Amino acid sequence: MVNIGIENYEVKQLDLSKGRAAQIHLETIISQGNETEKHVFDEAGKVVQMNSSYYIRFQETYESGVIPVTVKIDPSGIVTLTRKGETTTRMRFDKGERFETLYHTPQGEVKIETMTKNMQISYTDEPFSGRVYIEYDLFLGKEKLGDYKLQLLFTI
């Protein structure tokens, strides 16, 4: 297992430039006040490597439809999560860092911020798989909206 924060990791035996089918498991735990929600997605997706970054693409399936999701893992350890649906978000994560972004809704744009408290990225060979774990706070202005935990597992 290799942690991306320690060294640049590339899959030598696999050509991921055109992408490979992958099984995706995503868990998100949201704590707001005294309430906690858990969302779990097990989806088919794709892993692509471009310019030393990995892109994990899949769709979250809901009763009301699907939302395309892309997770970009940069070799420097920055993770970008993009969801494009009726509402669109593009959140960035880097341990100990705060990032501002726009949350696009049908009613307009809202400025939100992520503050990454903990982040771990690791890869394993044979079969190639990865794990991204992020703990972060979400803010609307100075107001904290909640504590979030996100775990993404992917296997080719």
Q: Give the model confidence (pLDDT) of 68-97 as tens digits.
A: 999 999 999 999 999 998 888 999 999 999
Residue 38: band (very low, low, confident or very high) from pLDDT cuts 50, 70, 90: very high
For the whole model, what pTM was predicted?
Answer: 0.86
Q: Which of 7-16, 58-67, 134-143 has the highest mean pLDDT?
A: 134-143
Lowest mean pLDDT among 22-31, 47-56, 103-112: 103-112
Going from N- to C-terminal start, the domains of the chain cover 2-6+19-155
In whole angstroms, what separates CA 141 from the centre of its chain? 22
Residue 6: band (very low, low, confident or very high) from pLDDT cuts 50, 70, 90: very low
pLDDT at 8: 46
Alpha carbons 131 and 155: distance in angstroms, whole number: 9
Is 57 a residue whose pLDDT tops 60? yes
pLDDT at 86: 81
pLDDT at 141: 86
Burial group, residue 130, by CB count within 10 angstroms (0-12, 13-18, 19+): buried
pLDDT at 14: 66
- Residue-averaged pLDDT of the chain: 89
Which CATH code for domain 2-6+19-155? 2.40.128.20
pLDDT at 2: 42
pLDDT > 70 in the chain, percent: 91
